[in-house]
Amino acid sequence: MKRSDRPRPVTLPAVEPPPPPVSVVDEAEPEAAELDDAGEADDAPGGAFALPPGADPALDWGLRAHLHPDGSPRIIERHLVVPPELAGLRLDHFVKTQIPRLSRTRIQGIIADQLRRADGHAPKPATIVAAGDHYLLRRAAQPEPPCPRTFGVLVTDPRLYVVDKPAGLPVHASAKFYFNTLTRVLAERFPDQPELQICHRLDRETSGCLVVARDRAAAAAIKDAFATKDRVRKQYLAIVHGRPPWDHEHTIDLPLRVAQPGDPTKLTHVRMLAGPGGLPAITHVRVERRTADRA
């Protein structure tokens, strides 16, 4: 690599007086199914509390992370505050903007069973919302698929951590995961650091390094560095089936788009596809080693 191609250093801003404490920030939008009714615990082999094949039993797999020590389910709580631009909508239409992809019938059921105003009042789906209205969604936590909840800290700095995320641990909450996520495990491990923010992403199946900012100013600077593309260099080590046709190094220049449900070209677990209509993406690859059927 030429010296001029090296990523420019990231300069973090000076530390300012801390704002009032807030919860650990998880900026991912919860998927629609996150608000499904709580499922029943399943202790049978192969159920929600069974270790996956080949799992290391020494790891903390969080098999009952959704339960209190007494066995009662924890509560998942989400706050919805109406912004000025959405004032005047019906309540069910406002909830639809916050939880996409749900049917109107399902949203009305959520309003009836899980949603209350901050003062405890049970609203109707046809209620007209006003700017600043505060609603609360609460549901009992349901069993989550097991995954490793143990991670290493590679770098400790006054402004950030670099953590080693294990394969199988989701970063943010989704339809299936809430407590078994890196966001939640970070909050448990560092309960006295409420401003922790994960500054980029890795898929659940991918292991690797993640930068976690320890304050808001550091988070803004680090996220800006990732967004500008030329200040951070990402490297991945992958094992692929087959034999790449190039000898050593190669550049892949193909736009990437989000795979849509029902797309016949979508493979299992594939979220992004190469093809027209996608965003520009350039990947430089190098073959480190070859075997008979993989590289």
Q: Which residues of 77-103 are buried (b: 16+ CB within 10 A; e: fewer)?
A: ebebebeeebeebebbbbbbebbeebe
To which residue do tokens 């970063």 refer? 171
Token readout for 150 is 């143990």
Sequence-separated (6 or more) residues with CB below 8 Å from residue 126: 90, 91, 92
Alpha helices in the chain (DSSP H): 91-98, 104-113, 182-189, 216-227
Q: How many CA atoms lie within 13 A of 247 on its CB side?
A: 0
In one-letter notation, the amino acid at residue 237 is L
According to DSSP, the residues that pair with 129 across neighbouring strands are none
Catalytic residue, candidates 26, 113, 119, 203: 203
Reduce the DSSP state of residue 118 to 3 states and report it.
Answer: coil
Cα-based distances in Å from 295 to 94, 247, 286: 50, 11, 10
Token readout for 256 is 């990437």
Q: Based on the residue annotation, tell me whether 203 is a catalytic residue of this protein.
A: yes
Q: What is the DSSP letter of 155?
A: E
Among residues 283, 291, 286, 292, the alpha carbon closest in space to that of 246 is found at 286
Sign for the CA dihedral angle at 176, 215, 212, 100 comes to positive
Q: Give me the active site residues, please.
A: 203
